Every structure is written in structure tokens, then in C-alpha cells.
């Protein structure tokens, strides 16, 4: 279970783990031994968000500011918010919302609010009359719509996605953990950088590499990461080796792939080959330097 990853990192049973930022916040309790090595692995996206009914007194309420200005909320009758988020410390259970929820509401001008925990489908709480709003994880928002609920502008408490988390004690004290973390970070960054990128190779006749490069760079979709790679293509005719063609290699994002093929054809490109990229290793990742700084190294 995701929460067990956090607990095992804290207990020292794990050195590294991949877990959602929401779970890390809920069960990590701000423990300084937990270090986020990479906070955006680009999957498991969700958000901790306020949702209210689409009907009744909320029908024309579309923002947190409008929710705060509603005259219904008083000290005697506060805004009731149901949530299922808790974290455990020793043998006691504390609401995550004791830290995040009320502070978020107070910072946004809602003084009179009461949070309660609920098991099961939170989306049913407003319809059952046990809450005015809910604080829950939202991904696509489909379940909210199916229950006649809506998110509101400014109502996102926490953005979350999968993150690489490490134990500070392990990074400093266990032999090889820091080096392994460095390699994992490099591979993750290189893979994420390569997602949706393709290598495009084409042949083009030209008088020189410079002349071919000039034609390639005249097209907006053919600049690549740092410019095209142009190299001679050798062939043998009548016993003589010559370079009448040049090979062009560029990196192209998926959304510009077909346009780049059209532009290559327009300037005389042929024999176009396309292959997906797995890794793009660039200069030393800033996250590695940030990690070393957090560790005081």
C-alpha cells in the first residue's frame, strides 16, 4: 500500500520509494528525514480539492471567493466540510486537515468552517445532508459530476503526482545509496525529457553540409534540440567515392512530427526514418545539486 512506503522509509526499512505527494503529506507528517528527490514523475496526477453541490444555494457559486462571501456561514452554523484524509502519529489519529484544510480556508477568508472525517464515498455526503462541501482527491472529475458536485476556482488545496522520495539517514549513512540515487535520478530525468520525442533522419542532396544546414534551419520545425546534425553520405560510382547526399538528424516532438516530415520533403528530403527516443541525457540535473545541498554535501 502507498502509505506503507512512507512508513517504511521512516522506519529505515526502505532507502527509496515512489509515492504520491498527497500520501507523503498525509503520512509523512513533515518529517525531516524524508527528502523529495524528484517531485514530478508525470504519472498518478491528482489534486486535493474543495467540491460543492451544483444545485441549491451553491448553484451560482463558482469560486472560493464567492463561497467565502456567502452569508450562510456563521459561528453557530459553519460551513461543513467532509474529508477522508488522516495521518497517524504514535497511537493517535490526527486530521490532515487540521494543518491543511483550516489554514487553507482561513487564508482564503472563510472563518466559520468545521471539518469532519467520513469513510466510503465522500461524494454522497452533501446529498445525505451531513456536509455542505467535501475535500477529496480529484483526478478527472468524472465522479464529482456523477454526484452533481463541482470544483470551484481557487479551491485546489494541494497538487499531487508520483514522486521519488528518499530517507535522509540512508542517503548519508548507507554505503552506495547516494550513488544509486544519483543514477536513478539521471535515468528518470533523461527518460522524462525524452517522452514524446522522436529522432528523425533523412537524406538530402546538397553542395555542402553548410548549404544543407541552411535549408534545414529555414524550416521552423526542423531546428532540433540544438540544431540539426548534418553528415555526408558516401557512395561509390564508377569506381569513385563521392558524397552527393547528406544525412540530417534532428529531434522532433510528437506534436510536430508530421509537420517536420512535410517540411523535410519541401526542401528535398527523402528516405525519412523515425524512431522514438528512450533517453535524452543533458547536463548535470539541477535536482542532483539541490539534493546535495539539502544533505549539506
Predicted pLDDT at 66: 95
Whether the model pTM is above 0.75:
no
Distance CA 52, CA 133 (A): 5
pLDDT digits (tens, 9 = 90+) for 74-126: 999 999 999 876 544 333 234 444 467 778 898 999 999 998 887 777 899 99
Contact between 81 and 157 under an 8 Å Cβ cutoff? The reply is: no
Predicted pLDDT at 86: 53
Confidence band of 159 (pLDDT split at 50, 70, 90): confident
Predicted pLDDT at 93: 34
Least confident of 46-55, 127-136, 207-216, 237-246: 237-246
Q: For residue 82, list its beta bridge partners.
A: 116, 134
Contact between 118 and 142 under an 8 Å Cβ cutoff? The reply is: no
Residues of the chain above pLDDT 90, percent: 68
Residue bearing cell 464515498: 121
Predicted pLDDT at 99: 60
3-class secondary structure, 10: helix
Q: For residue 94, list its beta bridge partners.
A: 87
pLDDT digits (tens, 9 = 90+) for 165-210: 999 999 999 999 999 999 999 999 999 999 999 999 999 999 899 9
Contact between 81 and 47 under an 8 Å Cβ cutoff? The reply is: no
Averaged pLDDT, 149-160: 91
Predicted pLDDT at 27: 83
Look up residue 265 and give its three cell numbers. 520533403
- HEC profile for 15-61? CEEEEEHHHHHHHHCCCCCEEEEECCCCCCCEEEEEEEECCHHHCCC
pLDDT digits (tens, 9 = 90+) for 7-21: 999 999 999 999 998
Q: For residue 273, list its beta bridge partners.
A: 201
3-class secondary structure, 268: coil
Is the pLDDT at 250 greater than 50? The verdict is yes
Predicted pLDDT at 88: 40
Q: For residue 16, list its beta bridge partners.
A: 166
To the nearest whole number, what is the mean pLDDT of the chain? 89
Predicted pLDDT at 85: 63
Domains, the chain, ordered by start: 1-45+161-180 (3.40.190.10), 46-157 (3.40.190.10), 195-276 (3.30.70.120)
Averaged pLDDT, 155-166: 91
Amino acid at each position: 500500500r502507498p502509505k506503507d512506503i512512507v512508513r517504511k522509509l521512516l522506519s529505515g526499512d526502505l532507502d527509496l520509494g515512489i509515492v504520491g505527494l498527497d500520501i507523503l503529506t498525509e503520512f509523512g507528517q513533515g518529517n525531516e528525514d524524508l527528502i523529495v528527490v524528484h517531485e514530478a514523475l508525470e504519472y498518478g496526477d491528482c489534486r486535493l480539492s474543495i467540491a460543492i453541490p451544483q444545485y441549491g444555494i451553491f448553484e451560482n457559486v463558482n469560486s472560493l471567493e464567492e463561497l467565502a462571501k456567502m452569508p450562510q456561514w456563521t459561528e453557530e452554523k459553519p460551513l461543513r466540510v467532509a474529508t477522508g484524509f488522516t495521518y497517524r502519529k504514535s497511537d493517535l489519529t490526527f486530521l490532515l486537515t487540521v494543518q491543511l484544510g483550516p489554514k487553507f480556508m482561513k487564508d482564503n477568508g472563510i472563518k466559520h468552517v468545521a471539518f469532519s472525517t467520513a469513510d466510503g464515498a465522500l461524494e454522497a455526503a452533501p446529498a445525505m445532508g451531513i456536509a455542505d462541501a467535501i475535500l477529496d482527491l480529484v483526478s478527472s472529475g468524472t465522479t464529482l459530476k456523477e454526484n452533481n458536485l463541482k470544483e470551484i476556482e481557487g479551491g485546489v488545496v494541494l497538487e499531487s503526482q508520483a514522486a521519488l522520495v528518499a530517507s535522509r539517514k540512508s542517503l548519508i549513512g548507507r554505503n552506495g545509496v547516494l550513488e544509486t540515487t544519483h543514477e536513478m535520478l539521471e535515468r528518470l530525468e533523461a527518460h522524462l525529457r525524452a517522452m514524446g520525442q522522436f529522432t528523425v533522419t533523412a537524406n538530402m542532396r546538397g553542395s555542402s553540409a553548410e548549404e544543407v544546414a541552411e535549408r534545414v534551419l529555414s524550416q521552423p520545425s526542423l531546428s532540433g534540440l540544438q540544431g540539426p546534425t548534418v553528415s555526408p553520405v558516401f557512395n561509390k560510382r564508377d569506381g569513385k567515392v563521392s558524397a552527393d547526399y547528406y544525412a540530417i538528424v534532428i529531434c522532433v516532438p510528437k506534436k510536430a512530427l508530421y509537420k517536420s516530415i512535410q517540411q523535410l520533403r519541401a526542401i528535398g528530403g527523402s528516405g525519412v526514418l523515425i524512431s522514438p527516443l528512450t533517453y535524452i541525457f543533458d547536463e548535470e540535473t539541477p535536482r542532483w545539486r539541490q539534493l546535495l545541498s539539502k544533505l549539506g554535501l
